[in-house]
Amino acid sequence: MIFGPKNTLVGLDIGSRTIKAAEAVEAKGAWTLKTFGSVDVVPGAIEEGVVKDPQAVAEAIRELYQLYHIKQSNVAISIGGYSVIVKNITVQTMPEEQLYESINFEAEQYIPFDINDVNLDFHILGETPHNPNQMNVLLVAAKKDMIDDYVNVMDMAGLNLCIIDIDAFALQNIYDINYADESENVALIDIGAGKTSFNILKNHVSVFMRDVSLGCNQINRKISQKAGSSMAEAEDLKLSSNPDKISVEDLKQIESSVVSDWCNEIRRALDFFYSTNPDDAIKKIVVSGGGANIKEFRDSLAIQTSAEVTTINPFHVFNTAKYNVDSAYLEQVAPQAAIAMGLAVRRVDDK
């Protein structure tokens, strides 16, 4: 199918450290990357997915549009963290229209918030394997005040918010497009600045999902405490080959400590998955986000999980030459681009 310009949108990955924007065009089954870029956001403007300074976030988005000459006002964003609940549930088999009417009742037992304080959505996965009278449903709940905050930011930035996705689903979108031929069970893990998204796919269908408040900010926070610096200075120290306020040995020790925490949390998530799916071995883990750039993390995770650990390339099947997008830049930012790219392949009329 060929999507015309009216159907396309910009994928905006609004993180606590940077905001990324991506535009992608599909024609005759082939994908082309039109734009990818990012800008930093003021520290503290977004914390654990919650908008703390909407004006600063809106200004950063406007700056991003100007820097990369983006004209498309239709956008897709994604959310995650503790204000979002995603669960696989089992309900009595019924038509989709009937489930719309009863979803609040079905969801109440699974949602740890007041049902009146959340927006609900669902996707019917199909009949349960051993009971045709029941069906599996993917249930998604997001707190209304969080949704309202992002709608407000988009209005302030002068944009038309068409889709609000879930971080882990956006990651799955781009994985499916770039690695469509791979059918083995795979764990997709995105280590962002303040949050880690975890999504296990079986035959390209999500069977387990979790967000945890772990991320690269942990490293910066420990550097800041050790060096007596600001968080912004801590980021520079982390990237410096010759830091002046902290020793290289201390930097390595901090990074190793945080990486160990990440691996332990991922191992616990996998153990929980295996407790209910003992026969579904995870032989491959695909990592993304800023944490994916840390070799010690990839190596330690491979040892602890006995799985192949690779870094995602969200541009793998995309033509990047048509619009003269810098290939060296894309190679550098590829792990951090995954969620924005997963949003960019959505379309205005998607469900």
Task: Provide the residue ranges of all domains of the chain, joining segments of one domain with +.
Answer: 84-142, 180-312
Q: For 6-31, what is the mean pLDDT?
A: 92
Q: How far is CA 166 from CA 9, 139, 178, 302, 342, in A?
A: 16, 12, 19, 26, 10
What is d(CA 59, CA 155) in angstroms, rounded to the nearest whole number?
Answer: 12
Q: What pLDDT is stored for residue 124 in this prediction?
A: 87
Yes or no: say if 290 and 335 are a contact pair by the CB < 8 Å rule.
yes
What is d(CA 256, CA 31) in angstroms, rounded to the nearest whole number?
Answer: 38
Read off the pLDDT of residues 160-181 as tens digits, 9 standing for 90 and up: 999 999 999 999 999 999 998 7
Percent of the chain whose pLDDT exceeds 90: 62
How far the first Cα of the chain sits from its last, in Å, is 16
The CATH code belonging to domain 84-142 is: 3.30.1490.300
Its pTM stands at 0.90
CATH architecture of 180-312: 2-Layer Sandwich (3.30)
pLDDT for 196 beyond 70: yes
Read off the pLDDT of residues 294-351 as tens digits, 9 standing for 90 and up: 999 999 999 999 999 999 999 999 999 898 889 999 999 999 999 999 999 998 877 6
pLDDT for 4 beyond 80: no
Q: For 205-224, what is the mean pLDDT?
A: 88
Interior angle at CA 121, CA 116 and CA 124, nearest 5: 140
